[in-house]
Structure 1
Amino acid sequence: MPWTCADIPDQRGRTALITGANSGLGLETARALAQRGARVVLACRSLERAEQARAELQADACGELIPLELDLADLQSVQRGAHQVADQLGRLDLLINNAGVMAPPRQLSAQGHELQFAVNHLGHFALTQQLLPLLEPEGRVVHVSSGAAYFGRIAFDDLQGERRYDAWAAYAQSKLANLITALELQERLEVTGSSVRSIAAHPGLARTNLQPTSVAARGSRLEALAYRLMDPLFQSAAMGALPQLYAATAADAQPNAFYGPGGPGNLKGYPKACRMAPAARDAATRQRLWRVSEELVGNALGS
């Protein structure tokens, strides 16, 4: 039998924080968890977006919905949001690093990092480090990656795309970084004896606001045509959210796995464990990216 939202265990008494909870995969993930009784922190780029998400979800939610302003493109905002969660809630059961940007023209974050690397990777890396103590003893961190990770390469000689910027290569790099972080974090948790689980997932091809936003930002008619031709391959955002919900709640979800749709090419369908991107398994790359990320975040936050 396929795994669906009906299989999510009772979430009463549990608290989840979801980044990018105002639309697409994040909104559907918040909806599913709140319907099962979880207290859900709706971490969004602005408080207005978070309040809009709460208003949309309120009618069907069985658990409390808490709006939180947290802009992943600004590490200072990430730090403020993490401190607010620690002060007000004191604990978490689930951290779902869902938010992302996809293939915009080259832009910089508040700290001067390439936007995709900043939002998709560095912001989540910093958030995870700051919230990890709240997830002890048996919480889970879910890293939402993409099938693009299979084509990614960590360009250590040009991480910020300063010499050569390709929007899709930068996106693939950031999504590979999500996978690398998931595996490296799990290894570090095991070394310390922690029972927190670090798990990766991807949505396959899901209809979200990422596609139209990317097309609008780049003004690419060819890209817009490609999406129209590919439309039959896409599944709904609700279906696309199932792998991350599985990673977050299923009793048998395993660390070091990469959950995605189980259909042909892992593009659509119900959740299953997918092949891990080989580049994510390279220990030297994982350790180097971790060190570089710690340095970039530390420099930005003065730590």
Structure 2
Amino acid sequence: MNSTFNAISTADDVLDGVDLRGKRIFLTGASSGLGVETARSLVAHGAHVVGTVRDLRKAQAVRAAVLSDAANVGSFDLVELDLSSLESVRRCADRIAREESLFDVLIANAGVMATPAGRTRDGFETQFGTNHLGHFLLLNRIASQIADGGRVVVVASASHRSALFSLDDLNFERTAYEPQLAYARSKTANILFAVEFDRRHPARGVRATAVHPGTIRTGLGRYMGQEVMDTAIEQLSAALVADGQTPFQWKSVAQGAATTLWAGLVAAPAEVGGRYCENCHVSDVNDGPLSPVAEGVRSYALDPETARLLWHRSEDMVGEAF
């Protein structure tokens, strides 16, 4: 088994030689994009995956395809979940809680990106409510079902670097709404959640980490518009060339799922716990000028005091304390 991976490693590269038979993995957003590839690779290596989807009927075809592609080595079950509805989150958590078996890894993969101004069913700004609060409530409600020594992997984004995070006006009630700004803040919240979750679960050896999957063509960017996307890619390519590198190339979905699987199943727990990972390694803090060619995590995304305060604010917003 190769112990060194990088930006072009795929999900199957990372899990090469890894036997996941007997492992149970919980995965949100299992019916499209990175979620499908993550589920396929896990099942192909013997894991039992419980994946959440918004529409159970439509997702049955995805489930059948995953099992077929993975040669039915593992198993793949589905449960209904709409992260933009706290009622749906609680219903899903209650369903999971009725099962006695524990999970080895929880993967918070689902999310929305750069959506138009809007509100969740509970009145929260759409991206913060879906990407952060939905997962905050769900993962805390099923935290007791993580096996000793298990892990939580939260799929965040390098976009967190594009905007300072503030606990003021999380719902954009006073700030002019900007889709990319709201997305960046929700992804910073994902990282901060992992930091605080990791701090709160040392007794059983449960570790939490956040990951950036890379820039991938999935349905996540459908709200951005092709013109905006093309302009962003042109600027990124120009910056790479100016830095003496090759022009931008999209990551494949298989490459995008690699860091999630590396952080959740391959890397040493102490290496990734409370950290931010990209390209199959732990990233250093980088508070330098914003650059499309630089790696790194902003210090504000790992700040323990901000993580603690966001946790308590999130408890107030969802109406439950953990």
Q: Match for 2:117: what amino acid? A: R
**1:203 maps to which residue?**
213
| Kept after mapping to 1: 8 A contact 2:196/2:274 | no
Q: Which residue number in structure 1 is paired with residue 177 of structure 2?
A: 165
C-alpha displacement at 1:122, in angstroms?
A: 0.4
Cα deviation for residue 151 of structure 1 reads 2.4
Distance in 1 (alpha carbons) for counterparts of 2:316 and 2:155: 23
Matched, 1:256 2:265: no
Q: Give unmatched runs, 5+ long, in structure 2.
A: 238-247, 285-296
**Given the alignment, which residue of 75, 78, 86 partners 2:89?**
78
Secondary structure of residue in 2 paired with 1:100? coil
Asked if residue 68 in structure 1 is aligned to residue 89 in structure 2, the reply is: no
SS where residue 20 of structure 2 aligns? coil
What fraction of aligned residue pairs are identical, expressed as a percent?
36
1:176 and 2:188 correspond: yes
Shift in Å at residue 19 of structure 1? 0.6
User: Alignment partner of 1:204: what SS?
Assistant: coil
Q: Is the 8 A contact 2:212 2:259 kept in 1?
A: yes
Match of 2:228 among 223, 227, 231: 223
Q: Distance in 1 between matches of 2:23 and 2:226?
A: 45
* Per-residue Cα deviation, 1:157-216 (whole angstroms, up to 9, x for no partner): 2111122211111000000001101111111112xx2211111111121221112x123x
Offset at residue 227 of structure 1 (A)? 5.6
Normalising by structure 1, report the TM-score.
0.88
Task: Work out whether residues 42 and 54 of structure 1, in 8 Å CA contact, stay in contact via their aligned partners in 2.
Answer: no
Q: Which whole-Å CA distance do the structure 1 matches of 2:62 and 2:96 have between them?
A: 18
- Counterpart in the other structure of 1:266: none
**Distance (Å, rounded) in 1 between the aligned partners of 2:165 and 2:66:** 38
> Which of residues 132, 139, 144 in structure 1 aligns to 2:155?
144
Closer, same or farther in 2 for the Cα pair 1:122/1:49, shift >3 Å? farther
Match of 2:201 among 174, 185, 189: 189
Question: For this pair of structures, how many residues does the alignment match?
Answer: 285
Q: Give the aligned residue type for 1:23.
A: S
Q: Secondary structure at the match of 1:71?
A: coil
* Partner amino acid, structure 1, of 2:230: L
Aligned counterpart for 2:47 among listed residues 38, 49, 58: 38
Which structure shows the bigger proportion of residues in helix conformation?
A: 1
Two-structure CA RMSD over aligned residues (Å): 2.0
Q: Provide closer, same or farther for how the CA distance between residues 246 and 94 of structure 1 changes in structure 2, counting only shifts above 3 A.
A: same
Q: Secondary structure at the match of 1:108?
A: coil
Counterpart of 1:286 in structure 2 is 307
- Distance verdict in 2 for CA 1:49–1:228, change over 3 Å: farther
1:265 corresponds in structure 2 to none
Corresponding letter in the other structure for 2:22: G
The CA deviation at 1:295 is: 0.9
What is the TM-score normalised by the length of structure 2? 0.83
Inter-partner Cα distance in structure 2 for 1:49 and 1:197: 33
Distance across 2 between alignment mates of 1:156 and 1:227 = 28
* Mapped pair 1:241 → 2:257: yes
Alignment check: 8 A CA contact 1:50 1:69 kept: no
* Unaligned ranges ≥5, structure 1: 262-270
Amino acid at match of 1:24: G
Q: State the distance in 2 between where 1:62 and 1:152 align.
A: 43
- In the alignment, structure 1 residue 297 sits paired with structure 2 residue 309: no
Cα distance, 1:23–1:37 mapped onto 2, change above 3 Å? same
